Amino acid sequence: MNSLADRTAIVTGASKGIGAGIATALAAAGAAVVVNYRSDQLGADRVVRGITAAGGRALAVQGDVADAADVRMLFDTARTEFGPVDILVNNAGVVTFAPLTAISADDFHRMIGTNFWGTVQTTQALAAQDDIDGAAIVNVSTAGTLQFPAFGSLYVATKSAVEAFTIIAAKELGPRGIRVNGIAPGPSDTEGTRSSGFVGSDLESASVAATPLGRTGTPEDYGPLVAFLASDDARWITGDIILASGGQR
Ligand SMILES: NC(=O)c1ccc[n+]([C@@H]2O[C@H](COP(=O)([O-])OP(=O)(O)OC[C@H]3O[C@@H](n4cnc5c(N)ncnc54)[C@H](OP(=O)(O)O)[C@@H]3O)[C@@H](O)[C@H]2O)c1
């Protein structure tokens, strides 16, 4: 197992879904984990309980990544409770698929605010720490940036922005030993894709048929990959986006 002992991680949007799977995997590898959530305190508490029951360290912290004051508070709390933050996973995301003729300014601000600006703000907060000796950032994108699905114009554009930011941040922060990578998950079974109606739909059947490994992803599929990218085993990898989609592209 990749050792993350003595490391402090923030996973944004970890009250459920892919973020919960990542937080659980980082804690299992030894990191103290801040389980960030926006509205679902019960979900975040459940994730923390699962981690502590397994002998790990975790704390739920509310905060909207699109809000500058919340991001400052998130980092302040993490540093006070666990020490300097040297692992950051930007997973918080909002998704709306809609025809381009129907998307609104509200859709734009909601998705760009959380998916892109949230990632920028937390990266700035991590880099503002002058007492870290290197760090690893992992940004959660989507396989949609390779597939360009119809009705995903805004959502996929925000994630393409995240990927561009990932590559540029890796160049700017590399000299400080801060590695910045991304993962691009394929369609996965989460609260988000259940409430959107994807899970159980004809669209999901078509997606599974187009996936060489023949199933929909699960939150547990991504934790080990993120734990690897956060660990010293990935010390020579930065500015990369790793497709994790069961082969669907
Ligand atoms: N599921 C998929 O098929 C899939 C595929 C490719 C990529 N992704 C990406 O993977 C990530 C997770 O997706 P998911 O399906 O697991 O999502 P999900 O089940 O809908 O959960 C979203 C999480 O993000 C949090 N969140 C949303 N806006 C936030 C904000 N402004 N500040 C802080 N937290 C916020 C939510 O918090 P609360 O619930 O507490 O409000 C929740 O914990 C997203 O970035 C998504 O774009 C998902």
CATH of the domain at 237: 3.40.50.720
Let me know if 155 is a catalytic residue: yes
214 within domain boundaries: no
53 within domain boundaries: yes
21 within domain boundaries: yes
**Using a 6 Å cutoff on CB, does residue 66 contact ligand 1?**
yes
**Using a 6 Å cutoff on CB, does residue 39 contact ligand 1?**
yes
249 within domain boundaries: no
Each as own residue / partner, the long-range contacts of residues 208-212 (CB below 8 Å, 24 or more positions apart, any chain) are 210/248, 211/186, 211/245, 211/246, 211/247, 211/248, 212/246, 212/247, 212/248
| Residue-wise pLDDT tens digits, 200-240 | 999 999 999 999 999 999 999 999 999 999 999 999 999 99
Q: Which two tokens stand for residue 25?
A: 């995997």
Residue 1 has pLDDT above 60, yes or no: no
Count of the separate structural domains present in the chain: 1
Q: Among the atoms of ligand 1, which is closest to the Cα of residue 216?
A: 3
120 within domain boundaries: yes
Q: Which of 75, 117, 155, 198 is catalytic?
A: 155
**Using a 6 Å cutoff on CB, does residue 90 contact ligand 1?**
no
Q: Quick check: 193 and 199 in contact, CB under 8 A?
A: yes
Q: Quick check: 33 and 5 in contact, CB under 8 A?
A: no
Q: Which amino acid is residue 27, in one-letter code?
A: A
| Residue-wise pLDDT tens digits, 152-189 | 999 999 999 999 999 999 999 999 999 999 999 999 99
| Nearest CA among 230, 237, 247 for reference residue 184 | 247
Q: Among the atoms of ligand 1, which is closest to the Cα of residue 15?
A: 43
196 within domain boundaries: no
Q: How far is the CA of 123 from the centre of ligand 1 (A)?
A: 18
- Structural domain that includes position 173: 8-185+222-243
pTM score, whole prediction: 0.98
